[in-house]
């Protein structure tokens, strides 16, 4: 189960979009980043930090998962910890890798490490990983929200 940030829930139902169509890697990052902006987790400039991170270090984690997040300098643009999720049942290209689940992350201080740990734990379970990639909003929320 995800811990709750001191300010608000880490995952809001409106920050889950399922059955997305493949797009360029940068557009996917910008889309998931904009969801974090729209929910008040980050300032707009954090999204550029997410794109910048990808230029220097791929956030592809294997098992069909990418976890875009901002560069260290962008951390000051985070208002509160939160995540946003896009699923691609047919996959989308991520530096030559097929990705089915993209989880944008904004973590205050060291909370991003806790968030990464929980997500990695969930994705190690192949059944949960498959359900995340192909499930509806409620399924994704249940798996990542721990409800």
Catalytic residues, by residue number, are 69
**Rounded distance, CA 65 to CA 51, Å?**
17
Of 66, 7, 75, nearest in space to 45 by CA: 75
Contacting residues for 93 by C-beta, under 8 A, at least 6 apart: 22, 24, 25, 99
Would strands 97-106 and 60-62 be described as parallel, antiparallel, or unpaired?
unpaired
Contact 94/25 with Cβ under 8 angstroms? yes
Per residue, the 3-state secondary structure of 23-36, as one string, reads CCHHHHHHHHHHHH
């Amino acid at each position: 189960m995800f811990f709750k940030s001191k300010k608000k829930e880490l995952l809001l139902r409106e920050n889950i979009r399922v059955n997305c169509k493949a797009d360029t890697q940068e557009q996917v990052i910008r889309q998931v980043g904009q969801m974090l902006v729209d929910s008040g987790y980050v300032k707009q400039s954090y999204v550029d930090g997410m794109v910048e991170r990808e230029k220097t270090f791929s956030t592809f984690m294997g098992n069909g998962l990418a976890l875009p997040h901002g560069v260290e300098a962008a951390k000051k643009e985070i208002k509160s910890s939160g995540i946003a999720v896009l699923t691609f049942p047919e996959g989308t290209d991520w530096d030559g890798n097929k990705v089915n689940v993209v989880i944008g992350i904004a973590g205050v201080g060291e909370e991003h490490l806790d968030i990464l740990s929980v997500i990695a734990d969930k994705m190690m379970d192949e059944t949960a990983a498959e359900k995340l990639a192909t499930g509806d909003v409620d399924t994704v929320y249940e798996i990542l929200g721990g409800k």
